[in-house]
A and B are shown apart, each in its own frame.
Chain A
Amino acid sequence: MTVDFIFDGLNQLFPAVAGNDFFLIIAMLLPVAALLGFITIYGFGVIYSEIKVSSFIQDKTGPMGQGPGLHAGKWGLLQPVADGIKLFIKEDIIPASADKPLFILAPFLIFIGALTAFIAVPFGEKIIIVDMNIGIFYIIGVGSLAVIALILAGWSSNNKWALFGGMRSAAQIISYEIPAGISLVVVIMLASSLNMQEIIAYQEGGLFNWIIFDNPFMPIVFVIFFISALAETNRTPFDLPESESELVAGFVTEYSGTRYAIFFLSEYANMFVISAVAATAFLGGWQSPFENFLNTPAWSVFWMISKTFFLIFVMIWVRWTVPRLRVDQLMHLCWKVFIPIGLFNVFAVAIWIVVIG
């Protein structure tokens, strides 16, 4: 949508050369540049909030300082910046016995997966980079790219811990895509569309029109989707691929410096995407929680971002509360709990739609 908007704008601005390919490329690149900037700023913000939330939960202050300089700024605000600078100026180490091309490829691949998913995220009523008619399907599809990157990272490091991490992540992410997908199928059934904006439009009219309150089964569906989302983004209690007390650092054991930073950033970018999808599919997207209350296009961005950030906060909160599952328990949870209940929900909601809706 935004791409079309910029393209049209450029054409109107320069009518003499209207419609050439150069404008199309600019119209495509501009939002991507804005997106990269957004991810960077969001990365700083979310890393800072992760540090601070965890610190407050653990009765610590977290990074603190009285001003720039040796300290990390007022209230440690510059800590993520300092971390970033530290990671980017570190020596780039590639282990001698690593599979070099794959080792280099893996971080790029995971970042591409995270970045391309952003394209279909509806940031606001008017702000969505490409409004695809299969938006939700596209995000799920692109999100699977991460698993390839994780296996590559685990395999190419030529390290036993990394191999364990890579194998665990492959099993985990592929398994948990199923309950996540089943949960979204229910949403698609209700909204009868794959388009993100149409799913949001379906939830128009306040809190109780949101899909999560649509029928009695939806809260369960939402919980299943959210927990599967945690598993897909490798967050605790499902951080088995990089479980630090077992596998040292899992698939990132051999990564350092910039490459590690990219893995790190991708994890947080994935968190945003998956939270945005959850907010879109269950919590009304950019809709205001009350009918006719601050329901303008400008406020829509605020609602979307705040809903997404609330879900990210819950992810952080869960991470600093619960222990980690074991591999077989992870699979047990997926195949014996989530998938049966998820399938039951699909049938139940289908009957609900036919009988009541």
Chain B
Amino acid sequence: MIKYFSDIFTAVSTIAGGMFITLTHLVKAKKGIATLQYPEERWPRPERNIGFNSESYNVIRSRLHVDMDDCIGCLKCERACPVDCIKIETAKAPERGEDIKDVKHVGITTNGTRKAMVVTRFDIDMTECCYCNLCTYPCPEECIFMTGGPNGKKHPIDYEFSEPDRSDLIYRFAKPGTKEGMENILNEKSKVEA
């Protein structure tokens, strides 16, 4: 009998306590609200001050981007990718470190490396990308990166990208016509040699 009434008492008191907690949230609604009106407001992205040597860190997870003028076609990113979403094809350049005007190939990177390869295909399938960031670390020229971060001035962050068609999410970074152009150049070269 005592238990019967004590049960009723605990039920009433605990539920009243819970209702008091929710009431305080309701009354203080203005202060406690945690949601944002997404398209108008955005969550402030944390300022990443790594402190030292911030250029070598890329602590952003967003859309991958490649600066093709800097790419030397070393295939390191392709090998690092755990899901094989990067596809690279290269052709041997006729002269190491020289520009090829026909395919808009730049011979020397901003770091001063002379390119031995011409990248004829550089596709990143963003539908497969798992945003692990593993491809950005081995790059010797720091030409593949996730937009934002150290390159934020040149390429603002883009993590809300969307496309109406799934195939549009395959980003083709190689300059259009490079493959055919290089084939022509190499054919001509072999003809001359013959």
Residues of chain A at the chain B interface (Cβ within 8 Å): 53, 56-61, 64, 66, 317-318, 320-322, 337
Quick one: CB contact mask for B1-34 with A, threshold 8 Å, 1 for yes? 0000000100000010011011101100100111
Task: Say yes or no: B25 contacts A57, CB within 8 Å.
Answer: yes
Task: Say yes or no: A322 contacts B15, CB within 8 Å.
Answer: yes
- B97 → chain A closest CB, angstroms: 54
9 A-B contact pairs sorted by A residue (CB < 8 Å): A56-B29, A61-B35, A61-B37, A318-B19, A320-B22, A321-B15, A321-B19, A321-B21, A322-B18
CA A66 to CA B40, docked complex, whole Å: 10
CA A56 to CA B35, docked complex, whole Å: 10
CB within 8 Å: A-B pair count: 39
Residues of chain B at the chain A interface (Cβ within 8 Å): 8, 15, 18-19, 21-23, 25-26, 29, 32-35, 37, 40
Find A337's partner among B8, B19, B29 (CB 8 Å cutoff). B8
CA A92 to CA B8, docked complex, whole Å: 46
Task: Say yes or no: A60 contacts B33, CB within 8 Å.
Answer: yes
**Given A318-B19, A321-B18, A337-B8: A64 in contact with B37 (beta carbons within 8 A):** yes
User: CB-CB < 8 A to B25: which residues of A?
Assistant: 56-59
Find B23's partner among A58, A66, A317, A322 (CB 8 Å cutoff). A317
- In addition to A53-B26, A321-B21, 6 A-B residue pairs with Cβ atoms within 8 Å of each other are A56-B25, A56-B26, A56-B33, A59-B25, A61-B37, A321-B22
- A323 → chain B closest CB, angstroms: 9
What's the dominant secondary structure at chain A's contact region? loop
**Given A53-B26, A66-B40, A317-B26: A61 in contact with B19 (beta carbons within 8 A):** no
CA A277 to CA B32, docked complex, whole Å: 36
Task: Say yes or no: A59 contacts B33, CB within 8 Å.
Answer: yes
> Which residue of the partner chain A has the closest CB to B8?
A337
- A263 → chain B closest CB, angstroms: 26
Which of B8, B26, B33 is packed against the most chain A CB atoms within 10 Å? B26
> Which residue of the partner chain A has the closest CB to B14?
A322
CA A66 to CA B37, docked complex, whole Å: 10
User: CB-CB < 8 A to A337: which residues of B?
Assistant: 8
- B4 → chain A closest CB, angstroms: 8
- A339 → chain B closest CB, angstroms: 14
User: CB-CB < 8 A to B35: which residues of A?
Assistant: 59-61
CA A337 to CA B18, docked complex, whole Å: 21
